[in-house]
Amino acid sequence: MEHAAGPVPAAGFGPCAAIPAEHMDFIRQILDRIGDKWSMLIIALLEDGPMRYTDLQRNVPGISQRMLSLTLRQLTQDGLVTRTAYAEVPPRVEYSLTHLSQGLLDIVKQLIGWASDHHEEIRQNRTRAEPTH
């Protein structure tokens, strides 16, 4: 991100130097899509390589068939996941990442890393925040 260096550039201080208002729109779009309950998890899981429907279902604990299907369809439509169906006797379908989602994968992994590092701290903060009332 170019932020050039600069403490609040331009005139006075604008209402929002960090995010141009024009960007707000699709930032929300993307967040709504991958910020949902399962997308990032699935993308992270696909890092290892292609996975089948049931593989995903086993490895994303708690996901329902409905949500798995829906999420995969969304991701496929967005070009973040590739669906490959093999015409075999027991049907086989594999899902894998695309070039587009490779960059996203990197970020998702960072987010997971951050969560791993700080979830405990956050939990502590949360419980200790009670007494205020």
DSSP-derived secondary structure for 108-122: HHHHHHHHHHHHHHH
Q: Specify burial of residue 105 (Cβ count, 10 A radius: 0-12, 13-18, 19+).
A: middle
Q: Which is nearer to DNA, 34 or 104 (CB)?
A: 34
Which does residue 63 touch among a copy of itself, DNA, none (CB within 5 to 8 A, set by kind)?
DNA
Q: Rounded CA gap, 97 and 105, in Å?
A: 9
Is residue 36 close enough to count as binding a copy of itself by CB under 8 A? yes
> Which of 44, 33, 104, 106 is CA-nearest to residue 71?
33
Is residue 55 close enough to count as binding a copy of itself by CB under 8 A? yes
Interacting residues with a copy of itself (CB under 8 A): 1, 8, 13, 15-19, 21, 23-24, 26-33, 35-37, 40-41, 44-49, 55, 58-61, 76-80, 100, 103-104, 107, 109-119, 121-122, 125-126, 129
